[in-house]
C-alpha cells in the first residue's frame, strides 16, 4: 500500500467520493454496493409479485361461477403455471435474498458482502432470468405444464410449443442467481463479522439466512439438473425421461422434489428469521430460547432433505419408502413447533407494542399454525390419498407459502424499509393494509380446505354447477380481491413514505441488532465509519453504548477504525470467534458482472429460439466477462 498518502485522511466529503457510485446510468449498471443491490432485489421481486398476483385474480374471475368463460382452458393452464413459477422463482426466493443482501452485512457489522461483484452478478442474473420468463407472457406463449412441469406432459411430443422451453431454461438460469447468492451469504457470515460477534451472538436473521443458503447449495443443483435434462429431451431429442427409450418419468419427479421440498424451507426459514427479529423488538425483550431457536433452524435445514417423497405418495412407491418419508414429514413439525413456542414465550414474557410489523408477525403465526397443522395432515399417507390433487392441497400450500412467507415479508417491509429509505411508513395505512390482507387471505384460502373435501380438483379451468361449490367459490374470489387490495395499500404506504414519511432516524424501533447502529438511515455508503465492537447478543440493548473498534497497524486490523472506511477496506475475521485475520479491499464499480450475466442471457435466448449463432455470441460475451473478471482477481484497475 504505497500510495496511501495520496488518499484522503478523514474529511467526510472525501470519504464519500471514494464510495459513491458514478451518477446516472453508469453507476446503475456498475454498482457493487450491497445496499443498492438489496433494494433492487426487493423492488424487482415485487414487480413480479404483482404480475403473478394479477394472474391469480384472473383465475379467480374464471372460477367465480360455474362454467364461466372469462379465459380459455389453454390460457388458464398458462395462468396457473406462471402464477406458481413466478411466485416461487421470481418473488419469494429473490425478495428474501434482497432482504438478506441489505440487512445481513449490516447485522454482521461489516462494510459489504464477501464478494461484492458476485453479488451484483446474482442480481443481474435474477433480473435477466425474470425478463426471460416473463417475455413468454408478452408473446402470449406462457409455460402451461404446471409449475412443477411433470413429464411426460411437458415432453416435446405433448407440449410442442415454445412455452415450456421458457420454463425449463428460465428455471435453470434463475438457479444460477440463487446459488451464487447463497455462496456469498455463507462466506460473508463466516468471514466478515464484527469483533466480539461469536457464533452464539449471531442475530436470528443471520442464522436463518445461513440455514437457507446451505439448503440452496445442496438442493438447487437437483432442479437445475431436472430442468436441463428436460430441455435436453425437448431440444436435442435425448431420452432421459422418455420411457419408450428406457428413460424414467419418475426420475424427473425425484429430481424436482429433491429440490422442491427443501425449497419450501428455503422460503420459510428466512421468513421465520424476520419474525424472530421483529417479535423481540416489539415485545421489548430478548428472544426466549435463542439456542433452541437457532438449533431448530439448522435442524429444519437437515430434515428438509428427507421429506421430498411426500409429494409423490400417489406414484406407487414401495410402502417402506413412503413410511420413511411420512415419518420425516411429521418429525419436521418438531423444530417448527420449537420456533413457535419461542415466539409465544417471548411475547408472553414481554410487553407487546402492536405496531404494523408486529401485527404481520401475529398474523403470520396464526396462519402458519393452520398451514402447519394441515401439513401434518397431508404427511399422513391415507389422508394424503384422500385429498391428493384437490383444493385441500391448494389451501395448505397457500397457508404456508403465502401466509407464512408473504406476511413476514410485508412485516419486514414495515420494519426495515425505514432503515433503507430513512422514512417511516404510515402506521395507519399499515394497519389497514394488514387487516385487509389478513381477512382477505382467510376468506380466500380457508374455504379451499372445504372445497377439497367436497372433491373439487385443482388445476381445472371450470366446474359444472349443482355440486355445492358455487357459494364457496364466490367467497374465495371476494377474499382474493380483498387480499390484493390490501397489498396495494402497502404500495400506497411505501410510495407516500418516500415523499412525506416521517424521518426515521438511525433506530426508530429502539431495536437491538447492529443494522440499527449505523449513523443514519439510510446508512452511509461504508455502513460503519468504524466497525462496532459486539459485547453481547443484543448490542444496542447492552448497558454500555456500542464501542467503536480502532485500526491497528498490521494487515489484520488496519481496517477496523475510520481509516478502513477511508481506504474502502473491511476486515476479514476467523470463522467461529470473529478474530481479526486479514483485510479485504472492497472492489470498485465494474460492468463485468453485468456483461457476464448478459452473456448468459444471450446463451439462454439462443437455446430458446434454437439459433446457434445467438448462442455463440452469448458464449463470447460471457467468456469475455469471465476472463476480465479472472484477470482482475482482487481489485479493479481503474
Partner 1 sequence: MTLAAAEAVTEPSRSREAKGRSIAWWGMAVLIATEAMIFATLLSSYVFVRAASKEWPLGHIEPPELGLIWFFTAILLGSSGPMFFAEHGIKKGNQARLRLGLALVSIMGASFLGFLVYEYHELEFGIRDNAYGSLFYAITGLHGAHVAGGLLMIGMLQIKAWLGRFSAERHETVAVIGMYWHFVDVVWIFVFSTLYLSVHVS
Question: Which spans of this chain sit near partner 1 (rule: CB under 8 A)?
Answer: 1-3, 114-115, 118, 179, 182-184, 186-187, 190-191, 217-218, 220-222, 224-225, 229, 232, 236-240, 242, 245-248, 251, 254-255, 258, 554-556, 572, 574-575, 579, 581-582, 584-585, 627, 630-638
Relative orientation angle of helices 427-453 and 356-379, to the nearest 10 degrees: 10
The residue (of 245 and 520) whose beta carbon lies closer to partner 1 is: 245
C-alpha cell at 88: 416461487
How many residues appear in the chain?
638
Residue keyed to cell 402506521: 427
Spatial CA neighbour of 487 closest among 564, 410, 580, 553: 410
Residue 572 and residue 550: Cα distance in Å, rounded?
15
User: Nearest distance from residue 596's CB to partner 1, in Å?
Assistant: 14
Question: What minimum distance in Å lies between the beta carbon of 108 and partner 1?
Answer: 13
Determine the Cα–Cα distance for residues 320 and 197; give it in Å rounded to an integer.
45
Q: Is 227:89 a contact under the CB 8 Å cutoff? A: no
Using the minimum distance from each CB to partner 1, give the nearer residue, 386 or 628.
628
> Which of 273, 249, 251, 269 lies closest to 261 in space, CA to CA?
269
Residue 470 or residue 581: which is nearer to partner 1 going by CB?
581
Q: What is the closest distance, in whole angstroms, from the C-beta atom of residue 34 to partner 1 in the complex?
A: 15
Q: How far apart are CA 372 and CA 337, in angstroms?
A: 9
Q: How far is the CB of 64 from partner 1 (least distance, A)?
A: 42
For helices 34-63 and 404-421, the axis angle rounded to 10 degrees is 140
User: Which one, 65 or 248, has the nearer CB to partner 1?
Assistant: 248
Q: From 357, 363, 356, 354, select the one nearest 399 (Cα to Cα).
A: 363
For partner 1, give the closer residue by CB, 56 or 192: 192
Tell the smallest beta-carbon distance from residue 48 to partner 1 (Å).
24
CB of 127 to partner 1, least distance (A): 22
Instruction: Tell me, rounded to whole angstroms, the distance of Cα 589 from its chain centroid.
Output: 25
Nearer to partner 1, 172 or 294 (CB): 172
Query: Which 3 state secondary structure label does DSSP give 1?
Result: coil
CB atoms within 10 A of CB 545: 10
* CA–CA distance, 219 with 562 (Å, rounded to integer): 41
Residue 192 CB, nearest distance to partner 1 (Å)?
8
How far apart are CB 193 and partner 1 at their closest, in Å? 12
Q: Please, what is the minimum distance in Å from the beta carbon of residue 272 to partner 1?
A: 23
* DSSP-based three-state secondary structure for 467: coil
Residue number with CB closer to partner 1 (220 or 393):
220
For residue 126, the minimal CB distance to partner 1 (Å) is: 17
- Give the span between the Cα atoms of 350 and 362, in whole angstroms: 14
Q: Given the complex with partner 1, which of 190 and 324 has the nearer CB atom?
A: 190
CB nearer to partner 1: pick between 46 and 185: 185
- Please calculate the CA angle 192-194-196 and round it to the nearest 5 degrees: 125
In the complex, minimum distance from the CB of residue 186 to partner 1, in angstroms, rounded to a whole number: 5
Query: CB 130 → partner 1: shortest distance, Å?
Result: 22
Give the ranges where 391-542 is alpha helix by DSSP (H): 391-398, 404-421, 427-453, 470-500
Contact 393, 313 (CB under 8 A): no
Residue 110: closest CA among 560, 536, 419 = 560
222/482 with CB nearer partner 1 = 222
CB of 628 to partner 1, least distance (A): 11
Residue 151 parent element (H or E): none
* Residue 590 φ/ψ, nearest 5 degrees: -155, 145
Q: How far apart are CA 402 and CA 371, in angstroms?
A: 10
By beta-carbon proximity to partner 1, the closer residue of 55 and 242 is: 242
Judged by beta carbon, residue 217 or residue 376, the one nearer partner 1 is: 217
Compute φ and ψ for 347, nearest 5 degrees: -70, -40
Three-state secondary structure of 336-394: HHHHHHHHHHHHHHCCCCCCHHHHHHHHHHHHHHHHHHHHHHHHCHHHHHHHCCEHHHH
β-sheet bridge partners, residue 59: none
Q: Given the complex with partner 1, which of 322 and 362 has the nearer CB atom?
A: 322
Amino acid at each position: 500500500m504505497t500510495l496511501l498518502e495520496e488518499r484522503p485522511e478523514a474529511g467526510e466529503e472525501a470519504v464519500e467520493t471514494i464510495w459513491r457510485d458514478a451518477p446516472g446510468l453508469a453507476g446503475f449498471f456498475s454498482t457493487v454496493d450491497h445496499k443498492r443491490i438489496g433494494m433492487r432485489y426487493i423492488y424487482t421481486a415485487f414487480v413480479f409479485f404483482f404480475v403473478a398476483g394479477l394472474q391469480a385474480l384472473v383465475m379467480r374471475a374464471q372460477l367465480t361461477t360455474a362454467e364461466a368463460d372469462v379465459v380459455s382452458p389453454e390460457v388458464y393452464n398458462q395462468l396457473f403455471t406462471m402464477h406458481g413459477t413466478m411466485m416461487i422463482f421470481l418473488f419469494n426466493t429473490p425478495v428474501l435474498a434482497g432482504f438478506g443482501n441489505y440487512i445481513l452485512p449490516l447485522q454482521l457489522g461489516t462494510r459489504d458482502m464477501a464478494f461484492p461483484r458476485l453479488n451484483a452478478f446474482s442480481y443481474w442474473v435474477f433480473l435477466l432470468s425474470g425478463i426471460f420468463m416473463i417475455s413468454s407472457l408478452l408473446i402470449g406463449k406462457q409455460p402451461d405444464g404446471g409449475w412443477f412441469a411433470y413429464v411426460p406432459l411437458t415432453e416435446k411430443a405433448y407440449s410442442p410449443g415454445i412455452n415450456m422451453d421458457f420454463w425449463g431454461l428460465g428455471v435453470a438460469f434463475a438457479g444460477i442467481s440463487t446459488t451464487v447468492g447463497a455462496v456469498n451469504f455463507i462466506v460473508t457470515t463466516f468471514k466478515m463479522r464484527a469483533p466480539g460477534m461469536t457464533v452464539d451472538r449471531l442475530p436470528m436473521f443471520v442464522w436463518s439466512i445461513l440455514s437457507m443458503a446451505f439448503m440452496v447449495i445442496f438442493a438447487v443443483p437437483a432442479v437445475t439438473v431436472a430442468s436441463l435434462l428436460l430441455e435436453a429431451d425437448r431440444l436435442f431429442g435425448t431420452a432421459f425421461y422418455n420411457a419408450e427409450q428406457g428413460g424414467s418419468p419418475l426420475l424427473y419427479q425425484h429430481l424436482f422434489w429433491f429440490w422442491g421440498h427443501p425449497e419450501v424451507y428455503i422460503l420459510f426459514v428466512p421468513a421465520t428469521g424476520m419474525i424472530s427479529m421483529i417479535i423481540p423488538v416489539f415485545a421489548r425483550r430478548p428472544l426466549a430460547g435463542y439456542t433452541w431457536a437457532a438449533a431448530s433452524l439448522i435442524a429444519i435445514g437437515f430434515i428438509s432433505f428427507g421429506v421430498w417423497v411426500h409429494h409423490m405418495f400417489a406414484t406407487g412407491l414401495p410402502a417402506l419408502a413412503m413410511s420413511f418419508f411420512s415419518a420425516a414429514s411429521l418429525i419436521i413439525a418438531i423444530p417448527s413447533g420449537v420456533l413457535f413456542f419461542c415466539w409465544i414465550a417471548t411475547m408472553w414474557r414481554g410487553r407487546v407494542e402492536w405496531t404494523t410489523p408486529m401485527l404481520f408477525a401475529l398474523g403470520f403465526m396464526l396462519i402458519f399454525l393452520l398451514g402447519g397443522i394441515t401439513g401434518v395432515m397431508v404427511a399422513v399417507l391415507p389422508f394424503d390419498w384422500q385429498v391428493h390433487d384437490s383444493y385441500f392441497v391448494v389451501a395448505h400450500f397457500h397457508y404456508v407459502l403465502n401466509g407464512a412467507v408473504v406476511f413476514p415479508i410485508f412485516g419486514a417491509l414495515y420494519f426495515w424499509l425505514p432503515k433503507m429509505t430513512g422514512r417511516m411508513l404510515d402506521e395507519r395505512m399499515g394497519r389497514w393494509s394488514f387487516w385487509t390482507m389478513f381477512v382477505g387471505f382467510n376468506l380466500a384460502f380457508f374455504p379451499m380446505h372445504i372445497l377439497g373435501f367436497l372433491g373439487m380438483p385443482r388445476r381445472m379451468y371450470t366446474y359444472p354447477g349443482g355440486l355445492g361449490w358455487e357459494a364457496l367459490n364466490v367467497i374465495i374470489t371476494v377474499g382474493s380481491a380483498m387480499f390484493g387490495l390490501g397489498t396495494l395499500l402497502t404500495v400506497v404506504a411505501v410510495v407516500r413514505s418516500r415523499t412525506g414519511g416521517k424521518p426515521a432516524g438511525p433506530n426508530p424501533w429502539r431495536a437491538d441488532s447492529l443494522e440499527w447502529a449505523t449513523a443514519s438511515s439510510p446508512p452511509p455508503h461504508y455502513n460503519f465509519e468504524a466497525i462496532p465492537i459486539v459485547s453481547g447478543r443484543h448490542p444496542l440493548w447492552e448497558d454500555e453504548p456500542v464501542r467503536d473498534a480502532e485500526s491497528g497497524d498490521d494487515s489484520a486490523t488496519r481496517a477496523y477504525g475510520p481509516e478502513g472506511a477511508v481506504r474502502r477496506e473491511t476486515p476479514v475475521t476467523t470463522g467461529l470467534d470473529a478474530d481479526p485475520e486479514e483485510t479485504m479491499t472492497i472492489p470498485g464499480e465494474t460492468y463485468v458482472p453485468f456483461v457476464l450475466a448478459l452473456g448468459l442471457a444471450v446463451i439462454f435466448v439462443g437455446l430458446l429460439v434454437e439459433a446457434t449463432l445467438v448462442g455463440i455470441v452469448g458464449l463470447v460475451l460471457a467468456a469475455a466477462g469471465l476472463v476480465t473478471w479472472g484477470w482482475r482477481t482482487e481489485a479493479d484497475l481503474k
